[in-house]
Structures are given as C-alpha cells and as structure tokens.
C-alpha cells in the first residue's frame, strides 16, 4: 500500500479512534488501527471488541492495500508533523524472521519514520449494517440529550444495567434516562416523525456515549440510529460506529418520578449555582450535603462540617407555600442545574424525606430527581 494524505485529514481520523484503541489490552492488535484504501481515499477503523468505529477520509491512493498501525504511536507522530502532505508506504522487504507484519515508512517534509505493522488479517472484523435506521436524530438534539443525562450514569460495576443510559422511542417521541440509584435524569424530545417499528428500548453504555459525543461535536447533519441483535449502530456524516448493548432490565423509572410534589420553588439558575458552589466548600467531604431551608420568597443554603466549619447564604426566590427544609447532595444539584439551558429552575418538593424533582421553569420535558439526605444538624 502507498498513499498521500494531508496532515489535517489524517489527524482528524486518528483523533476519532484514540478512545477506542486499547493501549494495554490482552490482544496486541486491539491497540492498532486498520487502514484500508478505497476508491476516493482510505478508511480508518478501530475496535475494542465492545465498540467499533470506521470512517472515510480523502487521500491520493498510489497503490491499493491495507495495513495496521499502532493507534497511539501514529497519532503522536502525525500530531508533531508540520502542515503539509504525508506519504505512507508499506515495505515487506528485509523483515526479521519472527515479524509477521510489514514496515511502514512515513514521510512528511524533512521527517522520516519507519514503524512496524501487524498483519491486517489479525484485525477483528467490524460488522456493517446497511438496513434503514430506526431513528433519525438531528445531531444537535442527540448531543443535547446525551449531555443532559450523562452525569447521572452509575459507575458501580456491580449494577451493569445502570452503567449506561436507557434510550426509548415510541411514536414521534424519544426518551433518554439515566440513574445511579441516588438520582435520576430524564429527557424527552419530539422527532417530528414516527420511529420505525412499534417501540424501542435499549441501554447504551457510558463509553459508547463518550465516543458518540466526540463524533457529534463536528456534525451538523442527521445521525441515523439502528439496532441488530445486541448491537447499536450510528451513522454520522460518513462515520460508522457500532457498539454492544447492555443487556438486562433498566429500573422502572416511571415509578420513581414523584407526581404529588406540589411545593414549587422557582429560583434564578446562575444565582443558585454560584451560591451553592460557595456554601458547598464547607460541606462534609463524604456526604456533600447542603441543607435547603425554604421560606417565603427566600432560599437559605446551609452547610455544616465538624472539621471544616459552617457556611450560610440567602438567595431571593419565588415561593409562597409552607416552610420546608431538605438535605441534598450539593454536587448532584449542581450537575442537574448546570445542564439546564434556562434562566430559572424549579424545585418541586413535598417534604423533608421525599425526593426532590428539579425541572426547568420553561421546559418540563427535562427532569432530574435527587433523593433527600437525613438532616442531623442545623446552624
């Protein structure tokens, strides 16, 4: 194989596979990417056996073929090259007796590198599904949905069904939900047209969502989503990503959404964020609890740590009902509120021991539920 490609085009393809290639995996080939020539350039593929990605890039093909390259090494090399064309050339002469691959010469300006390649036939195959998509997302919509539920995905590996986000679709509506057992985040969006099939309910892993967000950052067109057996596939502007779905039952989140929290506190989002950040500096390092004392048109935030000290801050708010106090994890509240694109947020409350439902004052299709904490001391 021999080809010429611009540094910018090559670097773009290499960046997209860095999070998937396994630098220290048990199979050496998984730390390599596969490069194949095609009619108008090349494809670059990577896989960790759970997630696979393939993208097409413009290049001048001098001699057809396919090679593997250590994903991290080639990325580090190309990143340091100056702007310009890069020539890659495969050489199979003068190989050591124990080497099954080939040598790849890389030229750019006055720089010359020669690195080893593993046999391309050792690279695991990445299936391609050509069926029509079940859902066609606007990329900006899918990116927003992922970002708004990502922070409440569990990292507890003993509960694998919580290590991803639930994607559901029915009619013209699509939902994404995540929970770590202490909080739950829910977002609903309208697609403008019905999904194919009666309904859809799958769990997409956290790592898949991380890699998907990277691909969506530069995308402005549609994202086509489809499933086959136990895999999810995404097609985005010439890129194809496939990942293994998480098997198992996601918790019945509908039963966790409080329906009778009729005490509504409406507060400026930025004022709450800044005040909560300050007060939480003296919250207990383990629990991160801040007490929310809610009075008529006022929220008083209180933190109390035996070792660190005490903090208290008052904020003007809109509230006309009975006084109420509730203990909440400051980080959980900050992450929920920071994800909202609104000037005001609404805390829907029932009592000290009932979960808190946080919504946007302008958009009730985004919800975050935070479980209360036991209040043991006050200022």
Parent domain of 278:
257-370
Same domain flag for 363 and 280 = yes
Where among 225, 254, 283 does a domain terminate? 254
Kindly report the three-state secondary structure assignment for every residue of the chain. Answer: CEEEEEHHHHHHHHHCCCCCCCCCCCCHHHHEEEEEEECCEEEEEEECCCEEEEEEEECEEEECCEEEEEHHHHHHHHHHCCCCEEEEEEECCCCCCCCCCEEEEEEECCEEEEEEECCHHHCCCCCCCCCCCCEEEEHHHHHHHHHHHHHHCCCCCCCHHHCEEEEEEECCEEEEEEECCCEEEEEEEECCCCCCCCEEEEEEEHHHHHHHHHHHCCCCCEEEEEEECCEEEEEECCEEEEEECECCCCCCHHHHCCCCCCEEEEEEHHHHHHHHHHHHHHCCCCCCEEEEEEECCEEEEEEEECCCEEEEEEEECECCCCCEEEEEEHHHHHHHHHCCCCCEEEEEECCCCCCEEEEECCCCCEEEEECCECCCCCC
Same domain flag for 247 and 261 = no
Instruction: Say if residue 160's pLDDT is above 60.
Output: yes
What does pTM read for this prediction?
Answer: 0.90
Same domain flag for 331 and 288 = yes
Same domain flag for 139 and 249 = yes
- pLDDT per residue over 195-222, tens digit each? 887 788 999 999 999 999 999 987 778 9
Number of domains in the chain: 3
Q: How much is the pLDDT for 96? A: 60
Same domain flag for 317 and 344 = yes
Same domain flag for 27 and 99 = yes
Percent of the chain at pLDDT exceeding 90: 78
Mean confidence (pLDDT) of the chain: 92
Same domain flag for 353 and 271 = yes
- pLDDT per residue over 286-305, tens digit each? 899 999 999 999 999 999 88
Same domain flag for 249 and 262 = no
Same domain flag for 113 and 166 = no
Q: Which CATH number goes with the domain that contains 315?
A: 3.10.150.10
Instruction: Say if residue 95's pLDDT is above 70.
Output: no
Alpha-carbon span 166 to 126, nearest angstrom: 24
Where among 254, 278, 296 does a domain terminate? 254
Same domain flag for 222 and 185 = yes
C-alpha angle with apex 266: 263 to 272, nearest 5 degrees? 125
CA 166 to chain centre: 13
Instruction: Say if residue 378's pLDDT is above 50.
Output: no
Token pair in block for residue 203: 């769990």
Same domain flag for 40 and 102 = yes
Same domain flag for 316 and 243 = no
- pLDDT per residue over 315-351, tens digit each? 999 999 999 999 999 999 999 999 998 999 999 999 9
Report if residue 128 sits inside a domain: no
Report if residue 378 sits inside a domain: no
- pLDDT per residue over 22-77, tens digit each? 777 779 999 999 999 998 899 999 999 999 999 999 999 999 999 999 999 999 99
Where among 73, 97, 122 does a domain terminate? 122
Report if residue 140 sits inside a domain: yes
């Amino acid at each position: 194989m021999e080809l010429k490609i611009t540094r910018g085009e090559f670097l773009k393809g290499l960046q997209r596979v860095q999070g998937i290639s396994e630098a220290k995996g048990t199979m050496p080939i998984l730390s390599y990417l596969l490069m194949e020539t095609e009619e108008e350039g090349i494809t670059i593929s990577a896989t960790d056996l759970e997630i696979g990605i393939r993208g097409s890039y413009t290049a001048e093909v001098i001699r057809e073929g396919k090679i593997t390259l250590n994903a991290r090494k080639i990325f580090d090399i190309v990143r340091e090259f100056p702007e310009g064309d890069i020539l890659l050339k495969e050489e199979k002469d003068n190989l050591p007796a124990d080497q099954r691959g080939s040598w790849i010469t890389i030229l750019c300006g006055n720089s010359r590198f020669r690195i080893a390649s593993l046999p391309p036939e050792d690279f695991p195959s990445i299936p391609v599904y050509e069926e029509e998509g079940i859902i066609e997302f606007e990329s900006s919509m899918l990116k927003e949905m992922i970002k708004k539920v990502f922070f409440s995905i569990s990292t507890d590996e003993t509960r694998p069904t919580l290590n991803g986000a639930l994607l559901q679709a029915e009619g013209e509506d699509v939902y994404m939900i995540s929970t770590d057992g202490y909080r739950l985040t829910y977002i609903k969006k309208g697609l403008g047209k019905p999904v194919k099939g009666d309904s859809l309910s799958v769990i997409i892993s956290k790592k898949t969502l991380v890699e998907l967000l990277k691909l969506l950052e530069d995308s402005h067109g549609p994202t086509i989503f489809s499933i086959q057996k136990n895999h999810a596939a995404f097609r985005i502007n010439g890129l194809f990503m496939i990942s293994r779905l998480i098997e198992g039952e996601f918790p019945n989140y509908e039963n966790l959404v409080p329906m009778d929290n009729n005490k509504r506190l409406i507060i400026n989002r930025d004022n709450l964020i800044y005040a909560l950040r300050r007060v939480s500096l003296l919250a207990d390092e383990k629990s991160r609890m801040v007490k929310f004392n809610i009075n008529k048109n006022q929220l008083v935030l209180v933190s109390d740590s035996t070792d660190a000290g005490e903090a208290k801050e008052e904020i003007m708010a809109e509230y006309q009902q009975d006084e109420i106090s509730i203990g909440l994890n400051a980080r959980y509240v900050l992450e929920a509120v920071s994800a909202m694109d609104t000037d005001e947020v609404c805390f829907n409350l029932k009592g000290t021991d009932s979960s808190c439902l946080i919504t946007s004052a302008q958009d009730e299709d985004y919800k975050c539920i935070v479980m209360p904490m036991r209040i043991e001391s006050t200022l």
